[in-house]
Amino acid sequence: MNNAPTFSTPALTFAKGHGTQNDFILLPDHYAQIDLTEELVAALCDRQRGLGADGVLRVATAGALVAEGVLSELPRGVSSVDWFMDYRNADGSIAEMCGNGVRVFAHYCHREQLVDVDSFTVGSRAGGRRVQIHSASDSDADVSVEMGQITLRGTSEVGIGGLHLAGEAVDVGNPHLACIVDGLTVEALTALDLTTGTDLDSAMFPHGANVEILTPLVTSVDDAADFHAYMRVFERGVGETRSCGTGLVAAAAAALAGIDRSEGAVAITIPGGDVLVTVADGGAVLRGPSRLVARGELLPGWGD
């Protein structure tokens, strides 16, 4: 029996892409005319009913989103003509920022010739994010994102995967709890069951948080990085994903702080691939791949 709610599912043009296998549906909606309800987003992201994704990225100008009441005002560092990543989690909830999503969004804007330069600002609810396209083809790109300020908020705890872990609360435009686990091996990290959700301190995280589990830092053999670690992540509103850009930044900053460093370059391997996080001057740059895999059109009534 199908107990999924029924509602209008209009014809939509879309593209699909991922950043280290954190995957997204991109909806070109330059004048913000789509009624992007929680139900519509959840149906789009459903891997049986819809296209399947970890989230939806509406592609609109910041000015149009303000004019249509999606945004009450322009976020800091965002102009009305900037392309704005209107990001929604897979359950339809609104998220402030997504580091992997920004790379895919920037790649899409570059590919579709919405911008004619390699360095530009992408709008987000966490503020403007400067991106640099290092290389790009129709399907693949190497992109850096200036992720903004990092705030370490102190220690907290979480129940996850049958474990009770301590971590560092980190704000990267959205909330995180980064848990660097002493003695954690790659094999033990891989074996963790993260399907049961998280039990967080609601006083510290009244709106929930992403939770990162990280092996301790080791010296990197890569000249581009000082350290290397492995990570898995549980995202609020989604569940475990194969990568999380803001989570990677939060984890790198927390791991460096744990060895009394405020700066450094950390290469992190997640299930979806490898990225580089460079922490300096209270902020971070996230560099990694983007891949665009498809574009097409959903037929009217596709989710009815």
What residues are annotated to the active site? 98, 244
C-alpha distances (whole Å) from 104 to each of 185, 199, 290, 293 are 31, 31, 5, 11
Please give the radius of gyration of the chain, using alpha carbons only, rounded to the nearest integer: 19
**CA–CA separation, 219 and 298 (whole Å):** 47
Contact of 54 with 238, CB cutoff 8 Å: yes
Q: Closest Cα to residue 292, out of 112, 145, 68, 86?
A: 112
Instruction: Please tell me what DSSP assigns to residue 94.
Output: B
157: β partners: 166
**CA–CA separation, 274 and 72 (whole Å):** 36
Q: Closest Cα to residue 136, out of 151, 159, 148, 119?
A: 119
Q: Which helix (H) or strand (E) holds 25?
A: strand 22-28
Q: How big, in percent rounded to 5, are the helix, strand and coil portions of the chain? A: 15, 45, 40
Helices 245-258 and 99-111, interaxial angle, to 10°?
A: 140
